[in-house]
C-alpha cells in the first residue's frame, strides 16, 4: 500500500472467510456468448461463465484485488485470502488460441497480442475477433466487483471502485495468471497501469514482440515464476519474454530451491523441484494445486515463493 493511500478497513460483526460465485450472463444483460471462438455460457449442459470471488475479513487487508486469469483455483484463493488480498476470477475469452494462436500473418509480431488486448479491454484492435466491452476482462471484472460490493459489503469490495462505481481502481489491482492467463495479464498491463503483475509459467507468445512495447505498468511490478522442465522455459519462451519486458534490470534469475526469500529482490524466479521428469506437471507446478511439489511431510515447498510473488514490495 502506498503511503498516501487510505487504508481499507472492514466493518464485519462476524469476521470470516467469504466465497462467492455468480454467472457473468446473469450479472450483466449485455453479456453475450461468442461461440466462434469457444467463448460460451454453457457447455454440455453445464454453465461455463461462473465467476468466483473470495475474501477473509479475519485477515488484515492489504487493499489489493487479484484478478486471476485462468480457471478458478481454490488452493490459490486460499493463499491469496490468507495474505490479506481480495481475489476474483472472471469469465473471459481465452479459447481463441487453438484457432488463431499459430496462424498470424508472417512478419506480424503483435498478432496474438492484439487478440489478448481485445479480450482484456473490449477495444477493437484485432481483425480476427470481435469482443465487445461487456465481454472483456475489464468490464466483467467491474460488473463483478459492483455486485460484490452490494452482495458482500462486509468484504469491503467498494474499496476497489471509483466514487460512483464507474470504474475499477486499477492502481489497486494485481493481474495474475498461469500459462496463457499470465500472457494476457502481461499484455493487459502494458496498456493498463496496475499495482502488480504475477506471471506463472509465462508469458508465452514466443514469436511476438509486444512484450517490448512501452508499458503503462512500471517494469518493476512484473514478477515471473517457472519450472525449468516446462517446455515454455526449455524452448526459451518465458526467458525471452522476461528479457523483452526488461525484468533483468531488477535482478538475476534465481532458483528458489537454492535460495531463501527475498530471493535477491529479483523479478525472475525458477524452480528445478522434482516433478518426475514430467513437463506437463512442471508447467502446472508453478501454482498451488495437484501438480505443485510437496516435501516429505506433505507440505508445498513453494509457499514462500507464492507469498513473495503476490506481496513483496515493488519499490
Alpha-carbon gap, residue 131 to 123, rounded angstroms: 8
Per residue in 121-168, pLDDT (tens digit) is 999 999 999 999 999 999 999 999 999 999 999 999 999 999 999 999
Q: Is residue 2 part of a domain?
A: no
Considering the domain boundaries, does residue 33 fall inside one?
A: yes
pLDDT average per 10 residues of sequence, the chain (315 residues): 82 97 97 92 96 98 98 97 98 82 83 95 94 96 98 98 97 97 97 98 95 98 98 97 98 98 98 98 98 98 98 95
For the chain, the maximum distance between any two Cα atoms, rounded to a whole number of angstroms, is 60
Q: What is the pLDDT of residue 106?
A: 86
Coil vs helix vs strand at 227: strand
Using alpha carbons, list the distances in angstroms from residue 251 to 29, 86, 228, 259, 269: 47, 28, 18, 14, 10
Q: Comparing C-alpha atoms, which of 257, 223, 266 is closest to residue 241?
A: 223
Question: Any idea what the CATH number is for the domain that residue 75 is in?
Answer: 3.40.50
Predicted confidence at residue 200, as pLDDT, reads 98
pLDDT one-digit tens code per residue, 235-274: 999 999 999 999 999 999 999 999 999 999 999 999 999 9
Contact, 287 vs 76, CB < 8 A? Answer: yes
Which residues, 6 or more positions from 25, have their beta carbon under 8 angstroms from its beta carbon? 31, 33, 41, 49
Check residue 1 and give its pLDDT. Answer: 61
Of the candidates 142, 137, 143, 228, which has an alpha carbon nearest to the alpha carbon of residue 186? 137
- What is the per-residue pLDDT for 237? 96
> Is residue 1 in some structural domain?
no
At 2 the pLDDT is 61
- The per-type count for the chain, helices as H runs and strands as E runs, is 10, 11
Does any domain span residue 8? no
Which residue range forms the structural domain that includes residue 47?
17-311
Burial of 35 (0-12, 13-18, 19+ CB in 10 A): exposed
Cβ(116)–Cβ(183) under 8 Å? yes
Q: Within a domain: residue 4?
A: no
Question: Which cell numbers in the block locate residue 111?
Answer: 498478432
pLDDT at 105: 86
The length of the chain in residues reads 315
CA distances 86 to 55, 63, 64, 74, Å, are 5, 8, 6, 13
Residue 138 in contact with residue 121, Cβ under 8 Å? yes
288: nearest Cα among 299, 274, 279:
299
Q: Which residues pair with 50 in a beta bridge?
A: 23
Q: Domain for residue 3, yes or no?
A: no
Q: What is the DSSP letter of 14?
A: S
Rg from Cα positions in the chain = 19
- The number of domains in the chain is 1
Element (H, E) at 192: none
Burial of 127 by CB count in 10 Å (0-12 exposed, 13-18 middle, 19+ buried)?
exposed
Residue 102 neighbours by CB distance under 10 Å: 10
pTM above 0.85, yes or no: yes
C-alpha closest to that of 170 among 144, 142, 131: 142
**Pairing relationship of beta strands 65-68 and 86-89 according to DSSP bridges:** parallel
Residue 6 maps to a domain: no
Residue 44 lies in a domain: yes
pLDDT at 3: 63
Residue 206's Cα: distance from chain center in Å?
A: 19
What residues pair up with 294 in beta bridges, in sequence order? 300
Amino acid at each position: 500500500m502506498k503511503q498516501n493511500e487510505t487504508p481499507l478497513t472492514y466493518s464485519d460483526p462476524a469476521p470470516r472467510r467469504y466465497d462467492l460465485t455468480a454467472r457473468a450472463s446473469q450479472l450483466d444483460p449485455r453479456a453475450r456468448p461468442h461461440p466462434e471462438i469457444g467463448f460460451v455460457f454453457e457447455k454440455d449442459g453445464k454453465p461455463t461463465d461462473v465467476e468466483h470471488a473470495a475474501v477473509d475479513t479475519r485477515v488484515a487487508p492489504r487493499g489489493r484485488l487479484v484478478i486471476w486469469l485462468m480457471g478458478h483455483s481454490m488452493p490459490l484463493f486460499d493463499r491469496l485470502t490468507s495474505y490479506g488480498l481480495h481475489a476474483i476470477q472472471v469469465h473471459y475469452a481465452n479459447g481463441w488460441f487453438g484457432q488463431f494462436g499459430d496462424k498470424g500473418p508472417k512478419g506480424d509480431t503483435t498478432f496474438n497480442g492484439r487478440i489478448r488486448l481485445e479480450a482484456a479491454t473490449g477495444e477493437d484492435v484485432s481483425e480476427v475477433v470481435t469482443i465487445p466491452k461487456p465481454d472483456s476482462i475489464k468490464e466483467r471484472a467491474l460488473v463483478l466487483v459492483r455486485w460484490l460490493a452490494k452482495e458482500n459489503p462486509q468484504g469491503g469490495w467498494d474499496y476497489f471502485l471509483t466514487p460512483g462505481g464507474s470504474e475499477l481502481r486499477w492502481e489497486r489491482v494485481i493481474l495474475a495468471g498461469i500459462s496463457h492467463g499470465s500472457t494476457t495479464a502481461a499484455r493487459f498491463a502494458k496498456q493498463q497501469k496496475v499495482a502488480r503483475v504475477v506471471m506463472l509459467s509465462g508469458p508465452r507468445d514466443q514469436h511476438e514482440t509486444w512484450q517490448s512495447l512501452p508499458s503503462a505498468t512500471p517494469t518493476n511490478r512484473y514478477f515471473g515464476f517457472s519450472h525449468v522442465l516446462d517446455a515454455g522455459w526449455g524452448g526459451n519462451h518465458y526467458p525471452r519474454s522476461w528479457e523483452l519486458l526488461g525484468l533483468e534490470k531488477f535482478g538475476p534469475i534465481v532458483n528458489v530451491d537454492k535460495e531463501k526469500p527475498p530471493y535477491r529482490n529479483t523479478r525472475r524466479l525458477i524452480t528445478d523441484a522434482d516433478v518426475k521428469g514430467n513437463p506437463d506437471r512442471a508447467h502446472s507446478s508453478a501454482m498451488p494445486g495437484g501438480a505443485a511439489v510437496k516435501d516429505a511431510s506433505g507440505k508445498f515447498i513453494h509457499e514462500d515463493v507464492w507469498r513473495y510473488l503476490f506481496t513483496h514490495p515493488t519499490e
